[in-house]
Copies of this chain bind each other. A is one copy, B any other.
Amino acid sequence: MGNLNLGQPLWSTCFLIATIAFGFTTSPTSHAQERPTSAGLPDAELITDLIAANRILADKGILDGFGHVSVRHRLDPKRFLLSRSLAPALVTADDVIEYDLNGVAVDTEGSAEYSERFIHAAIYEARPDINAIVHHHSPSLITFGISSVELRPTYHLAAFIVDRVPVFDIRDALGVTGMLVNDSSRGRALARTLGERPAVLMRGHGTVVVGPTLPVVVARSIYLEVNARIELDAIALGGPVVYLDADEARAVLAEGEHRAYERPWELWKKESSSQ
């Protein structure tokens, strides 16, 4: 983990050197495709939080070797930041790539890219209120994505799904595919199913969770998984289940979705960095 030195924003430094030495923001590429320009140096805190988000969700078992986390660039809403193709637990500041809303990289520096970056691109395009996105394969949520039983909020920490979690069935939208959302048209179909909601289940594949900030999207990812386990157990008990009342859920959210999860975010950062 030598590359992740939160005290020294290495990524920023590299970026700066690259910008000075190679005219990075307008660098020609060896690819035929036209590269977008950079929005400029992202702030170090945002990169630090992006790395933390990757590690936290790996530490909690929400992300395994696959899946990814992105954040919108603060200097330009038409750019977002995402790691090169790498297991989330291994991501460092040096691995972060800047993308435009077509999923085209400013500069990959020769690295392989996540083939499903179009999930992120299409959602940032469709949802100006969203600044952070997670795509994962957490098992309990795949379960709900292939079941006729709907995911519903069981407790206040899942109040954010008061308007339910839609299921995106790629076969309905696009016929027989290799199941991956690996181009813009697939990304946009997924974004349409997501609509204005905070999450979407992908049938036979995984989940996408979105939020206004990295701490919120991380917390939503964790509590959506916990909520799935509670619902599974409550249904197994056999009696009727009382889900969160819609009015109550809205009242929970009106008080400010758990103060933006500041309290657990501090804990999770500490836990995942001490690994």
Distance in angstroms between the alpha carbons of A266 and B64 in the assembled complex: 12
What residues on B are CB-neighbors of A244 within 8 Å? 204
Q: Which of B233, B239, B243 contacts A148 (CB 8 A)?
A: B239
Chain B interface: which of A38-46, A124-132, A139-147, A191-199? A139-147
Say how far A270's CB is from chain B's closest CB, in angstroms: 7
Chain B interface: which of A8-16, A20-28, A246-254? A246-254
Copies of this chain:
4
Task: Assess whether B238 is in contact with A178, with CB atoms less than 8 Å apart.
Answer: no
What residues on B are CB-neighbors of A65 within 8 Å? 261, 263-268
Q: Is A109 located at the chain interface by the 8 A CB criterion?
A: no
Distance in angstroms between the alpha carbons of A261 and B65 in the assembled complex: 9
Task: Assess whether A154 is in contact with B180, with CB atoms less than 8 Å apart.
Answer: no
Say how far A150's CB is from chain B's closest CB, in angstroms: 9
* Interface magnitude class on chain A: 35 or more
What residues on B are CB-neighbors of A89 within 8 Å? 267, 270-271
Chain B interface: which of A29-37, A73-81, A96-104, A224-232? A224-232
What residues on B are CB-neighbors of A265 within 8 Å? 65
Distance in angstroms between the alpha carbons of A90 and B233 in the assembled complex: 30
Hey, which bits of chain A sit against chain B, CB under 8 A? 64-66, 85-87, 89-90, 137, 139-140, 142-144, 146-149, 154-157, 159, 169, 171, 176-180, 203-206, 226, 229-230, 232-245, 247-248, 251-252, 254-255, 258, 261, 263-268, 270-271
Kindly list the 5 A-B residue pairs having the minimum CB-CB distance in the complex, ordered from nearest.
A65-B264, A148-B239, A87-B267, A156-B179, A178-B255
